[in-house]
Amino acid sequence: MKETNHGYENDGYTEGTMDMEDKPRLSLELDYEKDVQDYLEGNIMQKFAYYRDYPFRKLSEYPKLMKGVIYAVLFILYNAYFFGVLSRYIKHDIPWEWCDKFGFLIILTVIAYVGLIYYQIIKRFFGTMLYNAIISPFEKAMAKVFASSIVSGIGYLVVVIIIIVFIVIDSWEESERLVSGAGVVIIVLFGFVFSAHPGHVRWRHVVWGIGLQFLFGLIVLRWQTGRNIFNCLADKVTIFLDFTDEGSSFVFGHLVTGRPFLPGNLDNNTEFGVEAYDTAFETATIFNLGTAGIGSGFDTVFMFKTLSVIYFFSFCVSMLFYLGALQFVVMKLGWLLSITVGTTAAESLNASANIFLGQTEAPLLIKPFLPIMTKSEIHAVMTGGFATIAGTVLAAYISFGIDAAQLISASVMAAPGALAFSKLFYPETEESKTTIDDVEMPKGEEANLLDAAAQGASNAIMLVLNIAASLIAFLAFVAFLNAIIAWLGEMSGLEQELTFEYILGYVFVPVAFIMGVPWDDCVSVGRLIGLKTIINEFKAYQELGILVDAGEISQRAASIATFALCGFANPGSIGIQLGGLGALAPGRKKDLAQIVFRAFVAGCFTSFLNASVAGCLISTLN
């Protein structure tokens, strides 16, 4: 028994208060007493239930011990399996590579051991000491450096010079890459000239944001090991998402597989004879597989084939959120962006969350701060939503045949780029009320892991329906505009059939050119950018996949277009953001309406900046 603020504590009880963690224990004790009473007074079935539940009841009294035992058993079983596989590969001298089955198992095992050692040993016993000795002095040193305008200015100048010198030397024989470098400068100048508060631009945000874009780009696009890692990751993601077909084909059948006939169901003992059976079987097979004998003979249906991936991915993301794994990754990335780019905690966390979550899901992580955020911070949140894509739809774009490694790298590079351009286009003029220490990651509120998974799949229904509805409406509207423009062109005597996409292709030609797209492909890429901006990125990526498959666009143009289209900046998203953020912060609806169009433009130019950075680093010589 010990004294507390409200009385004396004894075996989980206090006079006037009770530890919340002791309530389940109290409930178990009361249940136990009730079961004993039932046992003494009850019948045979009650006695059976008492003895059946007795071991579990006793074990539940020591939850920490039970958890430790379960973890220990899993640890032993996993290591027994791993070293058994390792001995098999060594004994039989089986060749392997890092991205194959065994190599990937080694990578996962190393990651697990590093995490285990860090959290169970280093952080637990040496965390405070290491923070005080290394991290805290580093943060203070960074703060001092950036507090001095002269020192920070020299640092920014050095970073810019290093980037320029590298680009010039590395792309000396490829003038198109130099054009991309000039595109970065032009886009930054555009952001500064049309900035809401040019005199308040903090160049640390801009230089560090673009610098991180270049760093991530170098790792993914130019460093062979980094490229191998991202290609391996992309392959695993593609394989993982392909399992969607197992569920969607069961529900939707040939609408997913593209194979409407079932040759195996034919009866070769029919009255029509063996020859008729062979003809029917051959015809059905040709219809199913096409004349080449591979793939499918019929086109799959976009609604059921491509969009079904979103159900599966949302299912998995919800489980990761419930377990806290997603919040952990977001928190670490947010901390990295906060100490480098210099943005505040809330906007940094939102930017990192946009890599994985959509424009309405990511702000949920910072919901408590939306009512007190400055206009510049809200602008950064909205720009991040417009400039990035969600992991749920990333899977759909991969299914179009878009390079998975480039899509993943574009998503990662867009996070610091969105912060950089947002702070250039709408600089901070107020005092922020959020710090990284104030932010707490929300936890899943579902009953259990299964409930979280089921809700994730259910929540994807509205996302899929919204995408489908937007595509139907906007494609129909564009067809209507095409008819009007073609009618006007025909009456004026134009020989070239005039369409809305044709006009957009030429309007965005200058944008495509400054990003480093070869001149012969500028009209095609300009048209894709126009489709993405006016309709959405789904239609644009679908058209890009068609161009790539037909060989009508160069590899460099396709790569730059992949980065340029990687964002939700389209008219439909304006309504989505106003509705989503307005529901999270009703008191800020007026501010949201005032800055949403500026954030939309910033999101578009962030994608162009991302593509220009990629264009500087993509070498056709390699």
Q: What is the pLDDT of residues 94-121, one digit of tens each?
A: 888 888 888 889 988 999 899 889 888 8
Q: Which residues span the domain enclosing 121?
A: 96-147
Q: How many domains does the chain have?
A: 3
Confidence of residue 604 (pLDDT cuts 50, 70, 90): very high
pLDDT at 512: 94
Clarify whether residues 398 and 418 are in a common domain: yes
Clarify whether residues 321 and 377 are in a common domain: yes
Task: Please determine, for residue 196, whether its predicted confidence score (pLDDT) is greater than 60.
Answer: yes
Confidence of residue 23 (pLDDT cuts 50, 70, 90): very low
Clarify whether residues 130 and 170 are in a common domain: no
- For range 367-374, the mean pLDDT: 82
Q: Which of 15-19, 82-86, 468-472, 574-578 has the highest mean pLDDT?
A: 82-86
Domain boundary residue among 88, 121, 147? 147
Task: Please determine, for residue 304, whether its predicted confidence score (pLDDT) is greater than 80.
Answer: yes
Clarify whether residues 436 and 291 are in a common domain: no
Clarify whether residues 371 and 476 are in a common domain: yes
In a domain, 595, yes or no: yes
Residue 499 and residue 428 in contact, taking contact as beta carbons nearer than 8 Å = no
In a domain, 65, yes or no: no
Q: What element of type H or E holds 13?
A: strand 13-14
Confidence of residue 255 (pLDDT cuts 50, 70, 90): confident
Quick one: DSSP state of residue 559?
H
Clarify whether residues 597 and 487 are in a common domain: yes
- The neighbour count for residue 392, using CB atoms within 10 Å, is 25
What mean pLDDT, rounded, does the chain reach? Answer: 80
Clarify whether residues 480 and 555 are in a common domain: yes
Clarify whether residues 359 and 413 are in a common domain: yes
Angstrom distance (rounded) from CA 253 to CA 467: 22
- For range 24-33, the mean pLDDT: 50
pLDDT at 2: 42
Q: What element of type H or E holds 55?
A: helix 44-59
Confidence of residue 384 (pLDDT cuts 50, 70, 90): very high
- For range 559-566, the mean pLDDT: 93
pTM of the predicted protein model: 0.71
pLDDT at 81: 94
Angstrom distance (rounded) from CA 403 to CA 561: 11
In a domain, 57, yes or no: no
In a domain, 101, yes or no: yes
User: What percent of the chain is predicted at pLDDT more than 90?
Assistant: 20
In a domain, 106, yes or no: yes
Clarify whether residues 186 and 197 are in a common domain: yes
In a domain, 48, yes or no: no
Q: Which residues contact 170 (CB under 8 A, 6 or more apart)?
A: 177, 619
pLDDT at 272: 52
Clarify whether residues 286 and 219 are in a common domain: no
Task: Please determine, for residue 206, whether its predicted confidence score (pLDDT) is greater than 60.
Answer: yes
In a domain, 13, yes or no: no
Clarify whether residues 291 and 305 are in a common domain: no
In a domain, 68, yes or no: no
Q: What is the pLDDT of residues 396-425, one digit of tens each?
A: 788 788 887 788 888 889 989 999 999 999
pLDDT at 522: 92
Angstrom distance (rounded) from CA 411 to CA 563: 8
Clarify whether residues 277 and 424 are in a common domain: no
Confidence of residue 296 (pLDDT cuts 50, 70, 90): low
Confidence of residue 190 (pLDDT cuts 50, 70, 90): very high
Q: What is the pLDDT of residues 226-239, one digit of tens each?
A: 878 877 877 787 78
